[in-house]
Amino acid sequence: MIIQKTSSPRLPNFDPNNFSFGNTFTDHMVICEYENGKWGEVKVVPYGPLSFTPAMMTLNYGQACFEGMKAYKDKDDNVFLFRVDKNFSRINKSAQRLAMPQLTEEIFVEGLKAFVDVDRGWVPHGEGMSLYLRPLIFATEEALKARISEKYMFAIVASPAKSYYSEPVAVKISDYYSRAASGGVGFSKAAGNYGASFYPTQLAKEEGYDQIIWTDDATHTKFEESGTMNVFVRINDTIYTPATSDKILDGVTRDSFIQLAKRRGIEVVIGDILVDDVLKAHADGSLKEVWGVGTAVVTNTFKAIGYKGQRFELPLLSEEESYALTLKRDLLNIQTNLAEDPFGWRWPVERKY
């Protein structure tokens, strides 16, 4: 591990009460380069641009995948990561599917911890605040050859993130476009999955929806995911979520919600969610909630669902009545060290550098 700290930190000018998420970056970044069949040393270096030409293979053939994670700070300034093992194994699954090399624990886990330690001053304090972390792997060989790249870069950049609060959204159930196909790359965090989802989402926005509930590509009769989040449906007091598969991303938030729900004694059914059953439940009043989960906002509650030109309004539950918001609170309390962590999900970031 090489740690090269910046001589001109921007941290003293960072105002945690006034910044823009997603385009404010911390003082450092992680980089590690792969060539001649092996990864080099992992480095924490000053944040800044890299230099590539348009012949870089990622830009032409799309070998790129990423992760999304967060670091949290408690009231005593301790910094924690969350379930890092899950993101580590997932980035390697994504990389494998895209024929990219596997990362070692030394590179991913130790690189991440050293980076967050060095930039710990950027982890904002307070309710709902965190430091968003974006590990990624991309092909860097300069060659217009449609084959597996021989050079890659692993990098991590970080951006402070504000409140988790997100307005309830209206979502359109897709009856035409698909996010993923059998045998495809839906389970991986391939960058191209996002690129391919923007156009259908833009069309849904023109119809007055914020997001899409993706359905199975073969019949469009089963829920798969919601936007770039896993989806949950509550009918009466039972919650349903689709099983993970090659089309459904194995979300860390999804898995955490399932465990937190079971701990509260809520019945969780993992399996097919039929569009028809959801609409029937809406008609007879047993459909209580539909929501998406993911690291970025933890929970997105839905106020309406659209299907084939019809729009169905959903009840707006209070924080006490809502399973989505109760489980979100349970999760945030563990992430920010306000509650016991019986699952061993928190990863303290020691002061070392």
Ligand X SMILES: *Cc1c(COP(=O)(O)O)cnc(C)c1O
**Residue 200 and residue 218 in contact, taking contact as beta carbons nearer than 8 Å:** no
The residues near 252 (Cβ < 8 Å, ≥ 6 apart) are 82, 83, 86, 87, 90, 295
Stretch that binds ligand X, among 8-16, 49-57, 244-252, 313-321 (CB under 6 A): 244-252
Stretch that binds ligand X, among 130-138, 168-176, 250-258, 338-346 (CB under 6 A): 250-258
Residue from 101, 124, 160, 294 touching ligand X (CB under 6 A): that is 294
Residue from 94, 295, 300, 337 touching ligand X (CB under 6 A): that is 295
The least CB distance from residue 198 to ligand X, in Å, is 13
Distance CA 309, CA 98 (A): 37
**107 lines the binding site for ligand X (CB under 6 A):** no
Site for ligand X in 45-104 (CB under 6 A): 68
Residue from 249, 281, 290, 334 touching ligand X (CB under 6 A): that is 249
Distance CA 39, CA 97 (A): 18
Q: Look at residues 319, 315, 311, 284 and name the one whose alpha carbon lies nearest to residue 302.
A: 315
Residue from 30, 118, 213, 229 touching ligand X (CB under 6 A): that is 229
Q: Look at residues 276, 282, 226 and name the one whose alpha carbon lies nearest to residue 254.
A: 226
Question: Read out DSSP for 319-353?
Answer: TTT-HHHHHHHHHHHHHTTSS--TT--EEE-----
> How many residues belong to the site for ligand X (CB under 6 A)?
13
Strand duo 69-73 + 79-82: pairing: antiparallel
> Tokens 């109760």, residue?
326
**Residue 141 and residue 56 in contact, taking contact as beta carbons nearer than 8 Å:** yes
The least CB distance from residue 323 to ligand X, in Å, is 17
Strand duo 28-35 + 43-46: pairing: antiparallel
CA 325-73-290 angle, to 5 degrees, is 15
The least CB distance from residue 75 to ligand X, in Å, is 25
Residue from 94, 149, 159, 230 touching ligand X (CB under 6 A): that is 230
- Residue positions counted in the chain: 353
**252 lines the binding site for ligand X (CB under 6 A):** yes
Stretch that binds ligand X, among 8-16, 42-50, 127-135, 228-236 (CB under 6 A): 228-236
**225 lines the binding site for ligand X (CB under 6 A):** yes
Q: Name which of 153 and 190 has its Cβ closer to ligand X.
A: 190
The least CB distance from residue 294 to ligand X, in Å, is 4
Q: Name which of 56 and 231 has its Cβ closer to ligand X.
A: 231
The least CB distance from residue 262 to ligand X, in Å, is 17
Residue from 92, 251, 299, 347 touching ligand X (CB under 6 A): that is 251
**189 lines the binding site for ligand X (CB under 6 A):** yes
Give the chain's count of helices (H) and strands (E): 8, 19
Q: Name which of 68 and 306 has its Cβ closer to ligand X.
A: 68
Using only C-alpha atoms, what is the Rg of the chain?
A: 21
Token pair of 66 as six digits: 């990423």
CA 257 remoteness from chain centre: 14
CA 341-344-348 angle, to 5 degrees, is 90
Token pair of 16 as six digits: 């945690």
Residue from 253, 299, 326, 335 touching ligand X (CB under 6 A): that is 253
The least CB distance from residue 306 to ligand X, in Å, is 20
The least CB distance from residue 327 to ligand X, in Å, is 13
The least CB distance from residue 179 to ligand X, in Å, is 7
**278 lines the binding site for ligand X (CB under 6 A):** no
List residues binding ligand X (CB under 6 A).
Answer: 68, 189, 225, 228-230, 249, 251-254, 294-295
